[in-house]
Structure 1
Amino acid sequence: MTFVHFFMLGFGSMVGVGWAVSSNRWLAQSGGVIPAFIGFIIGTLLLLPIGLSHSSLMKRMPVSGGVMVYGYRAFGTGISFIGAWFVALAYLTILPWEAIYINNILINLFPALKMGQPIYHVLGSPVYLSGAILGLVFALGLLLINLKGSKLAGKLQSFLSYLIIVSGIIVIITSFIKFDVNNLTPIYENIGVGTHKNIFFGIVTMIVLVPFFMAGFDTIPQSIEERSPKTSQKAVSKALLTSIAAAGIFYAFIILSTGGASSWQAYSQQPSPAMATMLQGLYPGLIGQVLYWIIMIGTLAGLFSTWNGMFMAAVRLLDTMGTSGLLPGFFAKKGKQGKIPLGATIFCFVAAAIGPLIGFNIIDSLTSLGSVAFVLGWFITCISALRIERKSKDPLTKSTVVSVVISSIILILTFIPGQPAYMGNLSLVLFAIWMVIGVIFYYFTNYGDRGISEEERRLKLFGTVEQPSLEIREE
Structure 2
Amino acid sequence: MAKREQLERTLKPQWVWAIAFGSAVGWGAFVLPVDWMSMAGPLGVILGFMIGAILMIIIGVSYGFLVEKLPVSGGEFAYAYYGLGRYHAFLCGWFLTLGYMSIVALNASALALLGKFVLPSIVEQGFMYNIAGWEVYAGEVIVACLALIVFAFLNIRGASLSGLSQYIFCLILIVGVVLLTIGMVFHPSSSFSNMQPLFKPGIGAVSSIIAIVAIAPWAYIGFDNIPQAAEEFNFSPKKSFKLIVIALICAGLTYSMTVMATGVGQPWTAAMEEGSVWGTGTIVQNAFGTGGLVLLSFALLMGVFTGLNGFYMTTSRLLFAMGRAKVLPNIFSKLHPKHNTPHIGILFTLALTIMAPFFGREALLWVVDMSALGVTIAYFYACFVAYKLFKWNDKKVPNERPFMIVAPGRKFLSLLGTICSAAFFLLLVVPGSPGFLSLPSWIALFVWIGLGGIFFLVRFKSYRAVPKAEMDHLVLGDYVDEDPEKDSSHLKDLAAISSVEDIK
Output aligned runs, 1:182-261, within 5 Å. Answer: 182-189=193-200, 197-228=203-234, 231-261=235-265
Output aligned runs, 1:6-45, within 5 Å. Answer: 6-30=16-40, 32-45=41-54
**Could you say which residue in structure 2 is the equivalent of 1:301?**
302
CA distance in 2, matches of 1:344, 1:381: 23
**Could you say which residue in structure 2 is the equivalent of 1:110?**
119
Runs of 5+ consecutive residues of structure 1 not aligned to the other structure? 191-195
CA distance in 2, matches of 1:474, 1:453: 26
Is the 8 Å Cα contact of residues 124 and 361 (structure 1) preserved in structure 2? yes
Is the 8 Å Cα contact of residues 71 and 381 (structure 1) preserved in structure 2? yes
Residue 448 of structure 1: how far off its partner (Å): 5.2
Is the 8 Å Cα contact of residues 369 and 431 (structure 1) preserved in structure 2? yes
- Residue 355 of structure 2 aligns to a residue whose secondary structure is helix
Is the 8 Å Cα contact of residues 327 and 441 (structure 1) preserved in structure 2? no
Identify if the C-alpha distance between structure 1 residues 246 and 449 changes in structure 2 by more than 3 Å, giving closer, same or farther.
Answer: closer
Residue 272 of structure 1: how far off its partner (Å): 4.4
CA distance in 2, matches of 1:33, 1:453: 55
CA distance in 2, matches of 1:19, 1:134: 21
Output aligned runs, 1:323-342, within 5 Å. Answer: 323-337=324-338, 339-342=340-343
2:406 pairs, out of 394, 416, 433, with: 394
Residue 49 of structure 1: how far off its partner (Å): 0.7
**Could you say which residue in structure 2 is the equivalent of 1:468?**
481
1:274 aligns with 2:276: no
Output aligned runs, 1:90-101, within 5 Å. Answer: 90-101=99-110
Instruction: Please give the root-mean-square deviation of Cα atoms over the aligned residues, in Å.
Output: 2.3
Identity of aligned residues (%): 23
The C-alpha deviation readout for 1:150-184, integer Å capped at 9, x for no partner, is 22211211111111111011111112214423212
Residue 209 of structure 1: how far off its partner (Å): 1.4
Give the AA of the match of 1:216. Answer: G
> Structure 1 residues 256-265 or 238-247, which shifts more?
256-265
Identify if the C-alpha distance between structure 1 residues 58 and 355 changes in structure 2 by more than 3 Å, giving closer, same or farther.
Answer: same
TM-score, scaled to structure 2: 0.86
**Could you say which residue in structure 2 is the equivalent of 1:150?**
159
CA distance in 2, matches of 1:474, 1:467: 13
1:124 aligns with 2:133: yes
**Could you say which residue in structure 1 is the equivalent of 2:452?**
438
**Could you say which residue in structure 2 is the equivalent of 1:312?**
313
Residue 384 of structure 1: how far off its partner (Å): 1.0
Aligned length: 461
Identify if the C-alpha distance between structure 1 residues 251 and 473 changes in structure 2 by more than 3 Å, giving closer, same or farther.
Answer: farther
**Could you say which residue in structure 2 is the equivalent of 1:193?**
none
Identify if the C-alpha distance between structure 1 residues 75 and 174 changes in structure 2 by more than 3 Å, giving closer, same or farther.
Answer: same
1:357 aligns with 2:358: yes
**Could you say which residue in structure 2 is the equivalent of 1:176?**
185
TM-score, scaled to structure 1: 0.91
Give the AA of the match of 1:374. Answer: V
Residue 116 of structure 1: how far off its partner (Å): 5.8
CA distance in 2, matches of 1:159, 1:338: 21
Identify if the C-alpha distance between structure 1 residues 258 and 63 changes in structure 2 by more than 3 Å, giving closer, same or farther.
Answer: same
Is the 8 Å Cα contact of residues 124 and 140 (structure 2) preserved in structure 1? no
Identify if the C-alpha distance between structure 1 residues 335 and 441 changes in structure 2 by more than 3 Å, giving closer, same or farther.
Answer: farther
Is the 8 Å Cα contact of residues 259 and 267 (structure 1) preserved in structure 2? no
Residue 446 of structure 1: how far off its partner (Å): 3.2
**Could you say which residue in structure 1 is the equivalent of 2:94?**
85
Give the AA of the match of 1:258. Answer: T
Runs of 5+ consecutive residues of structure 2 not aligned to the other structure? 1-10, 392-399, 488-504
CA distance in 2, matches of 1:25, 1:137: 28
CA distance in 2, matches of 1:312, 1:68: 16
- Residue 127 of structure 1 aligns to a residue whose secondary structure is strand
The C-alpha deviation readout for 1:69-89, integer Å capped at 9, x for no partner, is 111111110111111221111
